Amino acid sequence: MSPAAVAPMVELAEVHKAFGHHHVLRGINITVPRGSVCVVLGPSGSGKSTALRCINQLEEVSGGRVLVDGELMGYRETVHRGAPALQRLSPQEIAQQRSRIGMVFQRFNLFPHMTALGNVVEAQVHVAGRGRRQARERAEEQLAKVGLADHVGHYPSQLSGGQQQRVAIARALAMDPELMLFDEPTSALDPELVGEVLAVMRDLAESGMTMIVVTHEIGFAREVADQVVFMADGVVVEQGPPDHVLVTPREQRTQDFLARVL
Amino acid sequence: MTEPAAVGVAEGGAHPAHDPVPNRIHAIPVRYPWRWVSAAAIAVLAAMALHGLVTNDQFQWPLVGRYLFHPNVIRGVGWTLWLTAGSMLIAVVLAVLLAVARGSENPVMRWVSWFYIWVFRGTPVYTQLVFWGLISVLYPRLSLGVPFGPDFIEFSTKDLIPASRGALLGLALNEAAYLAEIVRAGLQSVDPGQSEAAKALGMKNGSILRRIVLPQAMRVIVPPTGNETISMLKTTSLVLAVPFTLELQFATNAIGNRTFSPVPLLVVAAIWYLTITSVLMIGQYYLERHYGRGFDGHAAATTRSSHRGGRGRQSAINAAGTTHDPSPLDEVGGPPKAGTL
């Protein structure tokens, strides 16, 4: 497979994000090939979650380009007064783009008024337009895959954190995404529950899903990642295979960070 | 060695074999003598009040009994119920629209909503009701058409808005302004992470509101709305201002004036208002339970056996019996891989 023939799944090119005068991302370049796992590490406040949220347009980028599967996210290229320009897509068009990308949040964000099954059925029916029955079957299958076949009828408040996060993963996967984004998926979990969520993510990676994972789990990065990105102060300090970035980092900031977390 | 457990079992007697606690404490409860004293005092006061009600001939209890189900009174109850239910229904729909408009990204909608609430909350409901009564004087004919241009349809205002509809409209439009603020507070109470998760799934703003945010906001919206409904029940007595004269307060008052016995008819009205309020409170209880599902241990109680005492998250989890202590990794299947790494 020649890299030129297939567009990378995700491409961030010189991405900037500023909240008012607060410049969070200062020109990020990350390329994630199809079927690979990219783990983003960095101290808190380094902009790694913001970078992730720019990919599915939960944050509007201030500068640069975000491409998913070769498609420009959030904007349409057009011509304004004779010069090339970008026009913001309508909320409906952005929703359409998002429906191909799954996202898992630090705080799970399950819908508390729906059962585990209801959570997984919801977007299938109201976004993908599947029939209730088909959506239900798919939801049951997906929940079984994350080890929750016995808990389909439970509300999120009746589930442990690890179980909730696995429902959240099933909810995203039921939409058949091409790309999965994980925003610190284990940071809100009790230590003994982290393993079950990482196990599901590991299985997912083995199945060939393209994943971008923001996490503090260095062990997971070393074991599963094809590529590790280390961010600090809104820039990518170092990126490459885990052996390079995690074992023999070149940059002083990466070395300092790893010394602190390991 | 004498074990305290043995003593406990001997004392308890009943079924020592089933008690998993070997050293069960059979504590002597704390005594609350003042509760008994206060209960006695309240009982005396209540007896005095009851005595005053029953023995005072001015209340004319036989008259109360005779007029409680008088046709005019029953019709009054019917109209009062219709005005309350109808105006609240219109008000709730309008309030949701106003609240959404208030939080909209469209500045025109925001401004319209703000203006509406400003006007209708800023003037007395009595004044508004008088205005609705006078609308057919202000605008004898209403028409749909192009401003300053031709009309397509024309109505006589008196036919379109008779007193009963004027009353309904007046109450509803005023109430919507108050409810809009309640709905807005409800919408704001929902964790922003909820719409974010829905957005990430590709849901559009309309379905996010209908399917995700509003159902959760209802938990916050229902209790004050129940309050507003009960308040509305009694505000309906103001529709005399329109003037609309068939509702309960006016109907009982009219009989009272005619028979020179205002007090028993006031009691009749009070009995009916209290009865309706009680029914509304029951309805509110079920509404709150419906929208509270998933937020407490309640669903566990209905889906599982009968574990109802539990409160809060942990007991909800326990009640659901979804977690088992040994190892959460078992459920994932496959060998437990290096834990926290």
One digit per residue, pLDDT tens: chain A, 262 residues?
444 457 899 999 999 999 999 999 999 999 999 999 999 999 988 999 999 999 999 999 999 999 999 999 999 999 999 999 999 999 999 999 999 999 999 999 999 999 999 999 999 999 999 999 999 999 999 999 999 999 999 999 999 999 999 999 999 999 999 999 999 999 999 999 999 999 999 999 999 999 999 999 999 999 999 999 999 999 999 999 999 999 999 999 999 999 988 7
Q: Are A7 and A69 in contact (CB under 8 A)?
A: yes
Q: Which of B105, B209, B332, B337 to mutate to probe the A interface, most A CBs <10 Å? A: B332
Q: Are B28 and B11 in contact (CB under 8 A)?
A: no
CB within 8 Å of B174: residues ≥ 6 apart:
B120, B121, B125, B128
Does the beta carbon of A205 lie under 8 angstroms from any beta carbon of chain B? no
CB contact under 8 A, A58 and B199: yes
pLDDT at B6 over 50: no
pLDDT of residue A54: 96
Instruction: Please state the separation of Cα B304 from the chain's center in Å.
Output: 28
Q: Are B99 and B110 in contact (CB under 8 A)?
A: no
Q: How far apart are CA B195 and CA B211, in angstroms?
A: 10
| Matching residue, tokens 């309508």 | A90
Please give the residue of chain B at the shortest CA–CA distance from A54. Answer: B200
What does the DSSP 8-state code read for residue A139?
A: H
pLDDT of residue A87: 94
**In this prediction, what percent of chain A has a pLDDT beyond 90?**
95
Whole-model pTM: value is: 0.81
pLDDT digits over B149-160, tens only? 888 888 888 888
Band (pLDDT 50/70/90 cuts) for residue B15 is low
Does the beta carbon of A146 lie under 8 angstroms from any beta carbon of chain B? yes
Looking at chain A, list the stretches that DSSP marks H as alpha helix, in order from N- to C-terminal side. 48-55, 91-98, 116-126, 132-145, 161-173, 191-206, 218-224, 242, 252-261
Of B216, B316, B331, the CB nearest to A147: B331
Band (pLDDT 50/70/90 cuts) for residue B136 is confident
Three-state SS for A41?
A: strand
Q: How far apart are CA A155 and CA A163, in angstroms?
A: 11
Length of chain A: 262
Count of CB atoms situated within 10 Å of the CB of B123: 13
Q: How far apart are CA B85 and CA B83, in angstroms?
A: 6
Please give the residue of chain A at the shortest CA–CA distance from B216. Answer: A113
pLDDT of residue B4: 46
Q: How far apart are CA B68 and CA A96, in angstroms?
A: 62
Token pair recorded at residue A69 = 């599967």
Does the beta carbon of A245 lie under 8 angstroms from any beta carbon of chain B? no
pLDDT of residue A126: 95
Q: Are A231 and A237 in contact (CB under 8 A)?
A: yes
pLDDT at B330 over 80: no
Q: How far apart are CA B84 and CA A215, in angstroms?
A: 55
Does the beta carbon of A55 lie under 8 angstroms from any beta carbon of chain B? no
A157 contact residues in B (CB cutoff 8 A) = 294-297, 299, 313, 316-317
pLDDT digits over A24-54, tens only? 999 999 999 999 999 999 998 899 999 999 9
Residue type, A90: S
Q: Are A116 and A124 in contact (CB under 8 A)?
A: no
pLDDT at B163 over 60: yes
Q: Are A229 and A242 in contact (CB under 8 A)?
A: no
Does the beta carbon of A253 lie under 8 angstroms from any beta carbon of chain B? no
CB contact under 8 A, A122 and B211: yes
Q: How far apart are CA B267 and CA B263, in angstroms?
A: 6
A192 contact residues in B (CB cutoff 8 A) = 328, 339
Does the beta carbon of B312 lie under 8 angstroms from any beta carbon of chain A? no
pLDDT of residue B141: 84
CB contact under 8 A, A195 and B340: yes
B205 contact residues in A (CB cutoff 8 A) = 91
Q: How far apart are CA A150 and CA B272, in angstroms?
A: 50
What does the DSSP 8-state code read for residue A245?
A: I
Q: Are A164 and A151 in contact (CB under 8 A)?
A: no
pLDDT of residue A49: 95
CB within 8 Å of B233: residues ≥ 6 apart:
B80, B84, B273, B276, B277, B280
CB within 8 Å of A131: residues ≥ 6 apart:
A125
CA geometry: angle A150, A156, A161, nearest 5 deg: 90
Q: How far apart are CA B150 and CA A232, in angstroms?
A: 67
Half-sphere exposure of B91 (CA within 13 A, CB side): 30
- Phi/psi region, residue B247 (left: phi>0; alpha: psi -120 to 50; beta: rest), is beta
**A127-136, B3-12, B218-227 — which is least confidently predicted?**
B3-12
Residues 73-102 of A with CB under 8 A from B: 91-92, 95-96, 98-102
pLDDT of residue B322: 53
**A159-168, B216-225, B293-302 — which is least confidently predicted?**
B293-302
Does the beta carbon of A58 lie under 8 angstroms from any beta carbon of chain B? yes
Q: Is the peptide bond before A242 cis (omega within 30 degrees of 0)?
A: no
Residues 96-135 of A with CB under 8 A from B: 96, 98-103, 105, 107, 109-115, 122-123, 126-127
Residues 215-244 of A with CB under 8 A from B: 217-220, 223
pLDDT digits over B37-79, tens only? 999 999 999 999 999 988 888 888 999 999 999 999 999 999 9
Of B204, B316, B341, the CB nearest to A158: B316
Please give the residue of chain A at the shortest CA–CA distance from B333. Answer: A147
pLDDT of residue B2: 44
How close B61 gets to chain A, by Cα (Å)?
50
Beta bridge partners of A101: A179
Band (pLDDT 50/70/90 cuts) for residue B18 is confident
Residue type, A261: V
In order, the DSSP letters of A184-217 are STTTTS-HHHHHHHHHHHHHHHHTT-EEEEE-S-
Rounded alpha-carbon distances, angstroms, from residue A61 to A53, A66, A98: 9, 8, 15
**Is this complex's ipTM strictly greater than 0.90?**
yes
Average pLDDT, chain B: 84
- Phi/psi region, residue A62 (left: phi>0; alpha: psi -120 to 50; beta: rest), is alpha
Band (pLDDT 50/70/90 cuts) for residue B3 is very low
Burial class (CB within 10 angstroms; exposed 0-12, middle 13-18, buried 19+) of B16: middle
Does the beta carbon of A72 lie under 8 angstroms from any beta carbon of chain B? no
Rounded alpha-carbon distances, angstroms, from residue B206 to A127, A130, B63: 12, 18, 56
Give the β-pairing of A71-72 and A63-68: antiparallel
3-state secondary structure chain B: CCCHHHHHHHHHCCCCCCCCCCCCCCCCCCCCHHHHHHHHHHHHHHHHHHHHHHHCHHHCHHHHHHHHCCHHHHHHHHHHHHHHHHHHHHHHHHHHHHHHHHCCCCHHHHHHHHHHHHHHHHCCHHHHHHHHHHHHHHCCEEEEECCCCCEEEEEEHHHHCCHHHHHHHHHHHHHHHHHHHHHHHHHHHCCHHHHHHHHHCCCCHHHHHHHHHHHHHHHHHHHHHHHHHHHHHHHHHHHHHCCCCCCHHHHHHHHHHHCCCHHHHHHHHHHHHHHHHHHHHHHHHHHHHHHCCCCCCHHHHHHCCCCCCCCHHHHHHHHHCCCCCCCHHHHHCCCCCCCCC
B294 contact residues in A (CB cutoff 8 A) = 112-115, 155-157
B317 contact residues in A (CB cutoff 8 A) = 157-160
